[in-house]
Chains A and B, each alone.
Chain A
């Protein structure tokens, strides 16, 4: 059974700091891992999709790494801004009935202070 955990649950940092969010999964046989952003009461916006064959994926100030053997992924946010304040969720797919469902972590709630 795949389980996904994220630490820390919440994080408050001053503007400009570089920060790392962590995601762990119990079953290393994953196809990919996806990081999402969620603003309060809103839907999920995909940030980065990292394939199982990749070790890193970058988009602007965001960098996601993947270490399948240790069951970990990290999301690195450079030079944080107040607009980065949101909940960040990671998810891995699990095969069901010929297709896939996603298993989510509980998220890290980030607050960047101006």
Chain B
């Protein structure tokens, strides 16, 4: 098991609502990345946080935003939810600048109705 924890594990929202997902990084890691995994697809990079700032973003609109806190934990916020936002959201922990292993949490399954 990795030391990366995510909450909540499952949640259901309706279109137009907002959601916040949380992630605690592994001890010793200072960087948190968020990925979206639609059913039957590989994870897609949303963005990464380092030193409490966004450090790189994938092809996702601004309604996807995040935060990183001094203890390196992170939040992913999605506004104005759309049906296509239904997916497994994965948080990954790593050390900035090191292209070593990536450690994932168990994910948060979001269903948008």
Could you list which residues of chain A lie within 8 angstroms of chain B, going by C-beta atoms?
4, 31-32, 34, 36, 41-46, 49, 89, 91, 93, 95-107
Query: Which residues from B are CB-within-8-Å of A31?
Result: 99
Q: Quick one: which of B67-90 are within 8 Å of A by CB?
A: 88, 90
Could you say which of A32, A93, A104 contacts B43, with CB atoms under 8 Å apart? A104
On whether the beta carbons of A34 and B88 are closer than 8 Å, the reply is no
Task: Give B contacts to A, CB under 8 Å.
Answer: 2, 4, 6, 31, 33, 35, 40-45, 48, 50, 55-56, 58, 88, 90, 92, 94, 96-97, 99-107, 109
Bound: A78/B80 CA distance, A: 47
B56–A99 contact, CB under 8 A?
A: yes
Q: Measured between C-beta atoms, what is the minimum distance from B99 to chain A in Å?
A: 4
Residues A102 and B56 in contact in the complex (CB < 8 Å), given A4-B42, A41-B109, A44-B90: no
CB distance from A85 to the nearest CB of B (A): 16
Taking a contact as CB atoms under 8 Å apart, the answer to whether B50 and A102 are in contact is no
Can you name 10 extra interface pairs (CB under 8 A) apart from A99-B31, A99-B56, A105-B42?
A: A43-B2, A43-B105, A44-B90, A46-B104, A89-B43, A96-B56, A99-B48, A101-B48, A106-B40, A106-B42
Shortest CB distance A66–B (Å): 15
Shortest distance between the CB of B13 and any CB in chain A (Å): 18
Q: Could you jot down 23 A-B contacts, CB within 8 Å? A: A34-B101, A41-B109, A42-B107, A43-B4, A43-B104, A43-B105, A44-B43, A45-B104, A46-B101, A46-B102, A46-B103, A91-B42, A91-B43, A98-B55, A98-B97, A101-B56, A101-B58, A102-B33, A102-B43, A106-B40, A106-B41, A106-B42, A107-B42
